Amino acid sequence: MEPGKDAIVVEDLTRVFEDVTAVDRISFRVGQGELFGLLGPNGAGKTTTINMLSTLLRPSSGRAWVGGYDIVKHRDEVRKSIGVVFQETALDGKLTGRENLQFHAMMYGLPREERKHRIDEVLALVDLGEKSGILVEKYSGGMKRRLEIARGLIQDPKVLFLDEPTLGLDAQTRRHIWDYVEKLNRERRVTIILTTHYMEEADFLCSRVAIMDKGRFVALDAPARLKDVLGGDVVSLGVKGEEDCLDGTFRSLSWVKKFVRRGRDVNLTLENGERRIAEIVTLAQQCGATVESVRLREPSLEDVFLHFTGHTIREQEASSADRLRLMMPHRGGRRP
C-alpha cells in the first residue's frame, strides 16, 4: 500500500511495549480533507497510534505515510506538515495567549511578518483575538483548548491530530469545541484525525470512525453505516426479577435481532420497535418480572461497540484501570 493521494496511509502498524501490544497491525487510509475518528476506551491504543503517526514514537513494525512522507524515513518532513493537540496541556500559564503562539511560531522558524499574520489568523479562527493579551492561567478550560487548537494550526498544517480535544470539559464547552473543529475541517479542508471515547463526539464530527479496542480495529465505517449493522431500533428495559424466564423468552423471539442484558438493564434490537413495546412489556410481566422503565431509541455507537466487543466502553475502561493498578508497584514494595 503506497501513499498515493491520501493524506494518511497506514499499513499493519504495530507497537509493542515489553510484553504488551498497544497497537496491533492496524491498517487504514484517510482522504484529503477528511475528518476521521479513532473511537475507543482509554487504553485502546488511540494515543499510541497518534504518537506513531506524529513521529513521537517509532513503530515496532508496519509502515505509515503522513502527507506523503514515511513516518520513519522522513520524520522532519512529517513534522513540518502536521499540527498536534495533545491530551495534556502544554501551554505556559505565565504567558499571554498571543505570547504562547509567538513562542510556538518561533520554534517552527516562521519569519516575523508571517508570524504576525498567522497568529492573528488563528486567533480569529478560534475567537480568541480579544482575549489574546490575557495570561493563559486566567483562561477557562475551553479557552485553553481553543488556544491549543490555534497553536496546532500555526504552521498551516496539512494534517491536524486532535487527541481527546474535549476531555474534562463540560457539555456546553465541549459542543463549542465541536463547532470550531467542524468549521475548521469544512472551511479550511484540513485533514483531521480525532481520538475520543465520547460516542456523541465521534457521531457528530467524523465522516468515518474506526472503533478501537485492545489495540485493534473492530469496525471501520461511517457512523450511520456502523449503526445500520444492528438493523433496527433499540428498546431498553429496566427490569427486576425472573431473569431466566425473561432471557429465554426474549432470545426465542424471531423478531428480536439482538438481546443484551447488563444487570437489570435489558436491550432488545428489533425493527419497528414502537409497535412492539406493548408486547414486550406484556411478555416480561407474564414471566413475573417488574418493568421499571422502557425507552425506545435509535442505535448508538455505544451499541455498535457493545455489538463488536461484547462489552461497553465504560466496562473496558474499568478493566483497563484494574490491569494498570495490578502492574503498578504497591506502596511498601509489595503488591496487594
Full set of structural domains in the chain with CATH: 8-226 (3.40.50.300), 231-298 (3.30.70.100)
pLDDT in tens, 175-204: 989 999 999 999 889 999 999 999 999 999
Please tell me the predicted confidence (pLDDT) of residue 87.
Answer: 86
Strand ranges of the sheet holding 159-163, from the earlier edge strand across to the other edge: 82-85, 159-163, 191-196, 35-39, 208-213, 216-221
Q: What cell was used for 92? A: 505556559
pLDDT in tens, 80-129: 999 999 988 889 999 999 999 999 999 888 888 889 999 999 999 899 99
pTM (two decimals) = 0.84
3-state SS, residue 69: strand
Please tell me the predicted confidence (pLDDT) of residue 211.
Answer: 96
CB atoms within 10 A of CB 29: 18
pLDDT in tens, 252-291: 999 999 898 888 899 999 988 899 999 999 999 999 999 9
CA distance 123 to 114: 14
CA distance 65 to 308: 28
Which amino acid is residue 290, in one-letter code?
T
How confident is the prediction for the chain on average, in pLDDT?
90
Q: What's the distance, CA 85 to chain centroid?
A: 13
On whether the CB atoms of residues 55 and 75 are closer than 8 A, the answer is yes
On whether the CB atoms of residues 235 and 298 are closer than 8 A, the answer is no
Counting Cα atoms < 13 Å in the Cβ hemisphere of 238 gives 4
* Cα→Cα distances 68→13, 86, 290, Å: 16, 23, 60
pLDDT in tens, 205-227: 999 999 999 999 999 999 999 99
Please tell me the predicted confidence (pLDDT) of residue 280.
Answer: 95
- What's the Rg (C-alpha) of the chain? 23
Find the helix packing angle between 301-309 and 313-327, rounded to 10°.
60
Q: Which of 262, 243, 241 lies closest to 311 in space, CA to CA?
A: 262
DSSP H or E segment with residue 114: helix 112-125
